[in-house]
Each structure stands twice: as structure tokens, then as C-alpha cells.
Amino acid sequence: MVPFKVDLKNKVAVVTGGGGILCGAMAEALAECGAKVAILDLRQDAADKVAKAITDKGGVAIGVSANVLELASLQQAEKIVCDKFGPCDILINGAGGNHPKGTTSNEFLTKDDLAKVGTKDFVSFFDLDPEGIKFVFNLNFIGTLLPTQVFSRKMAEKGSGVIINVSSMNAFCPLTKIPAYSGAKAAVSNFTQWLAVHMSKLNIRVNAIAPGFFLTDQNRALLTKPDGSYTARADKILNMTPMGRFGKPEELIGTLLWLADDKGSGFVNGVVVPVDGAFSAYSGV
């Protein structure tokens, strides 16, 4: 259930990464408010699962396989969406993620670590794989830029549209161990501001949501043990989150709908909204 309704009837929404937990919840909320929703995901089965959940409730949705790093794949997806629903009115750039090759083993580099540089099963700053860094950066930043190029073209032609990017707390304050992901999400936030200015004369609003810490398929193994209890890293996150818990997917929906609705946020443009339980506001003391 959405926390409040906005009128998205006759709007076409495209959600990249829509087969995941957070963006799947976003897709369902947009559909509940009347939008026709195309769920784009690299995994066709994941996209179809979310689309089915929407149509089973009486909404209108399709699942579309698409790779946000391949222009031809996105162009084909855009054609499918246009043929089925019409041009995109609301684009949610939710595809992204991290990769072990862009992650260090330890939070801090110590003298003892220097002896481990180049050894098996240990990744220091000096061991970070440039290809892994590129993959993470591209998935998050290029994976936001390319879908925007493809799906905002018709927005520009008709002179209206809404683009909502998914940034992260890492963009405000980089987390230890994940320099590639932190840098990429900072780029997404910066791009959001740049694009809001660039598209402003065409009546296209561009904003971003910066989620704090939510349990998802991507981070569950990092934050929880097999028995469901929290890992040491999860405990550190919760200690730095004044509300003392992880967010729930549905707690992103109010911000999403506010930003998607021209009546509710028609003069809101170029902002990155934290939804983080005050994580970004807390100094630790």
C-alpha cells in the first residue's frame, strides 16, 4: 500500500533495475498510482515477476530485459515500451550495485597490511583491480547516463518529463572498503544536478533519492549471518544510524511519489534527498 496517492494516470514509467527489492517496490507504487510501468532488468525473470505482481493487483506493467551498459539493448527496450505503452514520462534510474573487485579487505591500511600486498585472498588499496573499478563505476554512472539518453529523448521533444536517479549515502560520506561504489554514486549525485540544469528549459525535472541502509539481495550476505543475526559491519551501520534500524523498502515510496508528481514537486529540481534515518546528519558523537 502506498502512503498516499498521486495521480499518475496515463503516465508511462520506466524503472531500471526494477527486478530488485527497492526498485521493485518503486515500480509497484507507481503502478498503484495509475502509471503504466515498464520494469527493466538484466534478468528477464526478475522483471517479469515484478510485472506479474502488479498485473495481479489490477495494474498495468510489462517486464523488459535490458542491459543498462549497452546502448543497443536500451534502444530495443525503449522501442518495446513505446510500442506497448507510448513514450516514457517518468524514468527511475535504479540499476546499480557494487562488486568485490572494487572493494578492499580492510577498512584501514596498516603497516602490517603492506606485507600482504599481492597475496591471495587479500585486497589492499594497491591491489584494487582497475577493471573491477571500471565495472562498478560504469554500472552506476554509465548505467544512469545511457538510459537517460535513450528514454529522455522523447521527453525533450514533448517538453515534459521526470527523471529520478538513485544515489546513495556513499555519495555524501564514502563508506570504508568500497571506493568504487562511493565514487560512482557521488558521480550520480553530481550528474543529477548537472542534468537538472541542462534539461531545465525543456520542463524536465531531474532529482535523486539517496537511500541510507536497506537490506537487499545485494548486501544481505554482507550485513546478516546465516542465522539472520547482524554482522559486525551491520552493527557499525546501525550504531551510526540515529533511528537504530535498517530502512524498509516501502519507506522510499513517499519520497518517490512526491518527486514523481508535478503537482507535488513542480518546482523541485536538482536535489538529492536522503532517506536514511538521519545517518547523514549524525557525526557519531
Which residues face 211 on adjacent strands?
A: 275
* Residues 197-225 pLDDT 10s: 999 999 999 999 999 999 887 788 778 88
Q: Which is nearest to 52 in space by CA: 44, 43, 61?
A: 61
Cell numbers given for 128: 584494487
* Residues 107-138 pLDDT 10s: 999 999 999 999 999 999 999 999 999 999 99
147, 77 contact by CB (below 8 A)? no
* Residues 140-194 pLDDT 10s: 999 999 999 999 999 999 999 999 999 999 999 899 999 999 999 999 999 999 9
What is this structure's pTM?
0.95
The residue assigned the cell 541510507 is 212
**Which residues make Cβ contacts (< 8 Å) with residue 198, sequence separation at least 6?**
none
Catalytic site includes residue 230: no
End-to-end Cα spacing for the chain? 37
- Which H helix or E strand runs over 205? strand 204-211
Distance, CA of 124 to CA of 139 (rounded, Å): 22
Q: b/e for 51-70, b at 16 or more Cβ within 10 A?
A: bebbeeeebbbbbbbbbbbe
Four-residue CA torsion sign, 108, 112, 113, 114: positive
* Residues 228-239 pLDDT 10s: 899 988 999 999
| Annotated active-site residue in 181, 214, 246, 279 | 181
Cell numbers given for 32: 498503484
Distance, CA of 254 to CA of 215 (rounded, Å): 18
Q: Is 29 exposed, middle or buried (0-12, 13-18, 19+ CB in 10 A)?
A: buried
The residue count for the chain: 285
**Mind listing the domains of the chain with CATH numbers?**
12-104+132-212+250-272 (3.40.50.720), 217-246 (no CATH)
